């Protein structure tokens, strides 16, 4: 799985460079998010702009990240949800759980 990490304006960015976030690669995403928090990453923004498909495993990895952020009293946001991915969040009502921004620019402007 191609994951790119950057630091910008005191925030940690995790850019997912994959078309699919599913059972085959969601474990790697979950592990990377946890590692970032363990290394002191703060206010994590996960850019899903390249992700065209997400299943329950992918949603679970993101929920795990959200839970870890709450435990560490830090922020956790998602950015750039494509229409099919956004539809999954709406279907599962997870848009009520996450901070979701249209794009990375909007997430960083907060």
Residue 52 tokens read as: 């065209």
> pLDDT in tens for each of the 110 residues of the chain?
899 999 988 899 999 999 999 999 999 999 999 999 999 988 999 999 999 999 999 999 999 999 999 999 999 999 999 999 999 999 999 999 999 999 999 998 87
Q: Looking at residue 21, what is its pLDDT?
A: 97
| pTM of the complete model | 0.94
Q: Looking at residue 109, what is its pLDDT?
A: 87
Under 8 Å between Cβ of 65 and 76:
yes
Considering only CA atoms, which of 77, 100, 56, 62 is closest in space to residue 8?
Answer: 77
Domain coordinates of the chain in residue numbers? 3-108
Options 1.20.950.20, 3.40.50.2300, 3.30.750.24, 3.30.360.10; CATH for 3-108 is 3.30.750.24
Q: Looking at residue 42, what is its pLDDT?
A: 87
Q: At what angle do helices 26-38 and 56-71 cross, to 10 degrees?
A: 10
């Amino acid at each position: 799985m191609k994951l790119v990490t950057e630091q910008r304006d005191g925030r940690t960015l995790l850019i997912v460079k994959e078309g699919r976030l599913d059972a085959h690669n969601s474990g790697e995403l979950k592990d990377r998010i946890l590692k970032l928090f363990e290394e002191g990453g703060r206010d994590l923004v996960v850019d899903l702009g390249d992700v065209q498909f997400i299943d329950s495993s992918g949603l679970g990895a993101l929920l795990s990240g959200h839970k870890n952020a709450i435990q560490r009293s830090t922020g956790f946001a998602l950015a750039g949800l494509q229409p099919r991915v956004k539809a999954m969040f709406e279907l599962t009502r997870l848009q009520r759980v996450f901070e979701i921004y249209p794009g990375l620019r909007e997430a960083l402007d907060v």
